[in-house]
Structure 1
Amino acid sequence: MSVYSKFADHILIDLLKKDDQLAYTEIFERYSRVLVNHAYKILNNRDEANDVVQEVFLSIWNRRMELIITGTLSSYLYKATKNRILNHIAHEKVVSRYVDSISNFIENDYVFADSKLRERELESIIAKEIALLPEKMREVFLLRKVEELSYDEIALQLNITDKTAKQQVYNSLKILRLKLKSTLHIFVW
């Protein structure tokens, strides 16, 4: 048993301010266990409770020369521990929000970006296949599907019957379906 164990807290603090490592060790021995138990009741995690208390004592050691304690040492240590716990919880919430944000990005934005990329690739493939259609069929198809003209309007513009216009669109869709069938299954999950 050390002679320091007989000293009152205020004497240990004075010795600590004079860089006395044994005074620091006595303060640690006197209060660390009870502070860890206190932190554990709040955090429900023994390792986190130990870390919080270690941080409190490390801070005391690092600031020992300018340490100002009004009131009792025990109340100062409890308050310092409580503040560290609150900082720890706030940090955990920030980390949790960050992880949630990253997860949300991966689940939504990344998938959205990926689907936009696949959509552009698919549009490019479809445009190439449309370009390969016979000229008159392509012209009727584009007037109907891109310009959104009625079959009657197409018939008047191209000097064909509306029945021919319908048949050309039907034939072009049939060709496109056949050519794109193998490509489309790649784009569907």
Structure 2
Amino acid sequence: MKKENELNSELALFRHIAEGDELAFKELFECYRLRLFAFSLQFTHSRTDAEEVVQDVFLKIWKNRLNLTNIQLPQKYIYTMTRNQVFDHLSRVARNKRLHEQVWANIHESGDYTEQAVLVAETANIIQKAVNGLSSRKQSIYYLSRREGLSNQEIAVKLGISVPTVKNSLVEILRYIRTYMSSQYESSVLIMGILLSLFL
């Protein structure tokens, strides 16, 4: 019952935000900002970067507020957006040597000497390479599902294809990405599972 009430409350907030209600937007921000900051900090190892991720997420929510009435699971939508912002940040880290070194500096400064952040950055880069090898339609399906958080039905409508086609394509896409990563990544099964759960 509690979860149902929370869902209804967040759906109501989304409806108000879609109508341009700034107070509702502020309420949503206050509800999620600390949780999203903590989530982002686990992977960026930088308070500044984590704060930037959260700001970017809510900026996108406001810019795309007219679409909020189509969202059925607000929490999933928000965390998907946050995950994608972290993905984008770590992809930049993987491509930029200076940022890569800064991440390591942040890890050492915080006392966390694991390779978590670098592993995640490498994973983001490898997944992007795998996605680049997909057909244009499969790339569209992947991005709409994993980057924009759309449901299978929403993707089907947007692309003019059937829901079963979307489902089957996602199964094929994720299988392909996992196979691609297995051929590129020399890592433990446990670490692979954690990283794949974050990005896929």
TM-score bracket for the superposition, by shorter chain length: 0.3 to 0.5
Structure of higher RCO (CA pairs closer than 8 Å, 6+ residues apart): 2
TM-score (norm. length: structure 2): 0.43
